[in-house]
Every structure is written in C-alpha cells, then in structure tokens.
A and B are shown apart, each in its own frame.
Chain A
C-alpha cells in the first residue's frame, strides 16, 4: 500500500515543476504545458485524497473524483481557448516568445 504522503509529495513535485516551467520558459506552448502539468498535479492530489478517505471509513468519498472531472473539463476548454489565442498571437507577431508579447507595459 502506497501511503498518502507519497502521492502528495509527487503531486507537490509535479506542481513545483509546473511553476518552475511556467516561470522560466519563454515559449508559450511550453508555458501552456506547464499549466497543464500543474492542473494534473492537483488532480493527482484530488484522487489520492479520494482514495485515502474511502479507505478510512467514508463509503462514498467521490467528491475528489468528481472534482478531477471538473478540472479535466475546464482544462480541455482552456486548452481549446488557449491554443486558439496562441495561434492568433503567432499569426500577428510571428513569435511565441512571451518576452516579446509585452504591449501592455506602461
């Protein structure tokens, strides 16, 4: 039996990797992937908790699973919108480097 803390640690590591990738990468696609990574890290901790609670007396600890599906739906929608934005950005600026997407700067 793998203890809960292992899942949580893995989830934290994945989330931290996502953050780091989000912060240090310049390519929008990579950043986008980092976001997905963070979402899935969270999903991992959701299912880990769901399983943990069902093993510890809660018969119907399904909220974790349900939330994971919600996150997946939102992530899918976000991917669709996000990729559309990325394509649009690439068409107008011919680059995917976020450092050059800075028109909102004062």
Chain B
C-alpha cells in the first residue's frame, strides 16, 4: 500500500510547530517576526500539500487511496486506532482548499490584525486551527478525525472569543462551543456504533466491510443499523456545519475577527460536516432514509437562512446567514447522494465566501470599524479594488455564469432534480433559495457600494439588529481613524488586497473544473472524485449513487431530452439569480424608499425575519432556561449541595458526634478503665462459653 512515502504527517504538523513557536515565544516577538513564523509554516504546509497531491495525482505510480500509518495510537483488545493519514481525491481537494485558502487568509490577517493587541495570540490560534483542520481531513480513521473535529471546535472557540474582554464575544465563543458539543455527542455515538459493529474505525476497514452487500444491504424503507449510524453522523455534521437545528452558533460567531470568519466560519471548518458525510458516503448511500433526512434538513436550512439573511443589516451577519444557506445547499447535495456536487460547491464556496468575508473586512477596515450596512453606501469610488473583488464574489455566489458559483450550484440543483434520492420539491426550494441568495447578496452590494455614504446616519429605529449595537465599533480598533468622515475612508493595504485578488481569480475560474457536459465541459471534478464516491457503492444502487446526470443519461438513453432538461434547469437557476439581482437593484438602488414601505406593510413578517424567527429566543425558552433551572435547582442545590456536600459534611459531623460520645469513656478514672477491662473480659468469656455450649 505504502508504495511511496509522502510523509503526509508533515502537512498538519508544520502549522502546529508555527502555533507552538508563536504561542510560547510570540509575546516577545515583534509583529513582523510573528507574521513571518506563521506565514512560513502555513506556506510550507501548503507547499508540502501541493507536492503530495502532485505526487499522488491519480494515474501516477501511487495507488489511491494512499494510506500512511506512522504509529499506533490506541489499542484496546481487538480495537486499535492508528495515527494514520489517508490521501485520496476527496482529501486532496480538502487539503488544498484548507492550506491554500488558509495561507491567503494568513497573509490578509497580517494587514487586518496589524493594529490589534494579542497579535501573536491570533496567529498562534490560527495556526493551531490549521493543524486540527488538516488532521481532520487527512485522518484515516474516525477517531483521529474526531480529534481534528474537536480541535477545530476549540480553535473556533478561541478565535470567536478573541476579543474576550467583550462580553458578547466571550458568550458567542461559549455558545459555539456548547452547540457544537451537542452535535459532537451524536457523532461520538455514531463512532461507538461503528466500533461495536465493525470493530474498526479505519475508513478502509469500515468501507470494505460494507462492501459485503449480503450483510449490509441497502436499507430501503427500513431503519436499520446503518441508518442509525448515518443519522448520528448527520447530527454531528449539523452541529459543525451549522444546519437546522444547530445553526444558531454561526451568526454569533461573527464576533470574531473577520479573517477568522472567513477562514473558519465560511471556508473550512464549517465544511467539515459536509466532508464527513461525503467521506462516509458508503454508509449514507446504504441508508436512503438518512439521506432523505439530510436532504430535507439541508433544503430547509438553505431557504430558512436565506430569508433571515434578507433582513440583516450587519454586513458580516448577512454573510453568516449566507454561509448557513450555502452549507444547506451542500447538505442537500449530500442528501441526494450527489456528494461530488456537494464537495464541488464546498470548494467554490470556499473561494467566493472567503473573498466575501475578506472583502467585507476590507470595507470595515476602510470605514473605521463600522459594520452596519445602513451607515455605508457609495463606497465604490473610494475603495475601488475592494469594490471590484466584492463584485466578482457577489456575482459568483449569486450563481451567474461563468463564475464559480453558477457551476456548483447548478450542479447541485440538477442532481437534486435528477437523482433518485432527489425530488422536484427540493429542487424548486433550491431555485427559490438561489433567487433569495442573489437578492440579499446584491442588497449587500448596493447598500455598501452605491447610494450616499452616510456614516453618521441615525439608526434610532427600535428594531435595530442586536449585533449593530454601538459596541461593534470597538470590535475593530481603528481608533486612530476616528473622524469617520469622507477623508477617513481608505483603501486597504496591498497585503490585504493581494489575497483578495487571488481569491477573486479563484472565484471566477474554480467552477470551470466542473463544467457540465451540456456546456461543452467534461465535468472533470466529478470524474476526479468519482472513485471516492462510487467505489463502495452496492451494485444494486450504482445507477443512482455518485453517478452524475451523464451516467444517468447514458443509462436511460434519453440523451437529447436530458440535455434539454439540463439547459432548462440551468436557465431557471440563472433566471432566478437575475431576478434576485433585479429586485435588489430595484429596491436598493432605483427606489431606496421602497424597502421601508414594504417592511412597513408586512411589519409582522418583517419583524419575525429580522429577529431570525425568534429561534434563539425559542431555544432559550425551550432548552436553555429549563436546563439552567434543572441544573440550579436539582443538580446544584439538590444533588451537589444536599446529597454530595451532605454526605461529605455528614461524615465529618457524624464522626465528630460519635467521638464526642465516646470521649466520655476516657474519664481519667482508673477504676472505670478497669471496669471496661472487666466488662471486655466478661464479654470474651461469655462468648467462649457460648461457643462451648453450641459446639
């Protein structure tokens, strides 16, 4: 198996070294030194990843999946988990996305975080995140993957709470951690079930065992073992990938610095759930019921989050809801067994969403820390570069060809339409979501870059979004730029613009690798991932799982009709995107007074959307408060104070009391001692007599 040693372990370990150096000694370093260390190790990791992928490229001398084990980690009875790394087409994509985009965001952070306190801390955490994320995507077993999984959660917690002096940031960090923990619990249960039933957690072992289709048939219409495992894994994924019902942490996570939002909460960490489902496709494909649940959850999340994104006024929160919505798309793709499409969208999304976040960061940087879009406007002349890349990203996410978002989104929608796990309802909801996506993204675009710049605008209206509180300004400490006037708006330095430009190019071209056949492409991306997604599929279902529209088309011999349908689908999604653009333009450029009138008309609905359907409040009422009450009354005041403290204190009090009583024996009166001796002797003699009698 290990025909060539690629030393895959180096890829994650390099950022770990960077994190260690900066974390331990960074306090004494100058900022330049900190950035040098952080960038050096991230770049080295990226370089190594590129080299490894290059060496292992399919068709070469290395057979995929390429597994490298560098030692045993845990052994317990027959079960053992190695420190092993797994390189196949899927982890190739993930590793390149993580290290590549991670590196760009590191560069950007040098400019963005330049004035912040805790500079070394930031880069140490960021490198630590890279280490865990790479462990996650390179692990060759679920347990090691879980280590990375938890580790990125930790890094996410640390970075969300980076401005830990601010209560909201500290709370957001805790919220992210706790909500993720709920999902992780289910993931753990899934892992335990895997251990119990397969005796191994290695991907090879589990997937090969699943190849026995007599023992593990496709669980159509039944809720068997695989369905339960798949559902457990899925709940884990909903936590990490911010899907209903565990998405609530992601909008709050925007309290972190913007590069963090770009890296962790848009491009990489939140896609871990998608990766995990795609990695486990052998399990999911045998559990159609679980797939259905995944698809419905993804679809609901997509439209739910998109509608919430429409009413947000904080630029980063719009993007946060957009991320949730796009992750919903990926979930939906996985749910219709179109894993390749999901990963494809994951990749393109990583480009344009990182670009959007970094662009938003650039905007925030430019106008001195303001995040509320109502105070922006007219910025396109003042920060032309940022405007240009944001435009590209917006068009990309809206799904307008030939930019990246179009291809991946169209692929997902087409697969949803054609796949036997899909349905037209899901597709229709997807198209509507695409239209809404386009709408809120162009809304953001118009509000930020068009109209009048109004930095002093009074946001006195009662229902200002909670995040737009004045405290936000302190979030990004450009106090030196306190005038907020026109003169203060400045384009970001090149260290920030450079990554933006690279990402913008990526946002344009990344989709071309997956150009579908009906547009003259070969859908290379799907063919590339094909071996991962199809090799473990039972024969009975092979016509559906992982096979794209082409394969379907060949099977059914309806080439012309399929092609026409695909043109129709693509046309529909482009039309939806343009429609969203048109309405956004109408409402926020042509007739800026319209939005207020519309929201006034549907005030109740608007308020509901603005308050995110009161989900946070609902969770608070349903789960948080009862749990708090339960913990306070039962566990703290009841069990802890009464039972446990009672037992401990009781032991003390009891021995004290007993001692106090026994103390009286120690009278100091010799004759009473003698009496005790006599009594003792009498008792012994009586006992012996009794023994003698009973012999």
Contact = CB atoms under 8 A, between A and B. Distances in A.
Contact of A105 (B668, B674, B675): B668
Q: Which 8 A-B pairs have the closest CB atoms?
A: A105-B668, A102-B668, A98-B670, A104-B668, A19-B678, A22-B674, A106-B666, A23-B675
Contacts of B671: 22-24, 26, 98-99
A92 to B, nearest CB: 16
A98 B669 CA distance: 7
Contacts of A105: 666-669
A80 interface: no
B663 interface: yes
A104 B678 CA distance: 20
B663 A106 contact: yes
Contacts of A104: 666, 668
Nearest to B675: A23
A101 B666 contact: no
Contacts of B663: 106
Nearest to B664: A106
Interface residues of A, number: 13
A60 interface: no
Interface of A: 19, 22-24, 26, 98-99, 101-106
Contacts of A106: 663, 666, 668
A33 to B, nearest CB: 14
A24 B671 CA distance: 7
B689 to A, nearest CB: 12
Chain B interface size, under 10 / 10 to 19 / 20 to 34 / 35 or more = 10 to 19
B669 A99 contact: yes
Contacts of B678: 19, 22-23
12 contacts: A19-B678, A22-B671, A23-B674, A23-B675, A26-B671, A98-B671, A99-B669, A102-B670, A104-B668, A105-B666, A105-B667, A106-B668
Contacts of B667: 102, 105
Q: Which of A26, A102, A103 has the most CB of B within 10 A?
A: A102
B306 to A, nearest CB: 81
Contacts of B669: 98-99, 102, 105
B664 to A, nearest CB: 9
A74 to B, nearest CB: 18
A105 B674 CA distance: 15
Nearest to A101: B670
A13 B225 CA distance: 84
Given A24-B671, A105-B669, 13 more contacts: A19-B678, A22-B674, A23-B675, A26-B671, A98-B669, A98-B671, A99-B671, A101-B670, A102-B670, A105-B666, A105-B668, A106-B666, A106-B668
A19 B666 CA distance: 20
Interface string B648-691: 00000000000000010011111100110010000000000000
B62 to A, nearest CB: 84
A63 to B, nearest CB: 21
A105 B543 CA distance: 95
A90 to B, nearest CB: 15
Q: Which of B663, B667, B668 has the most CB of A within 10 A?
A: B668
Contacts of A101: 670
A106 B660 CA distance: 11
Contacts of A23: 671, 674-675, 678
Contacts of A26: 671
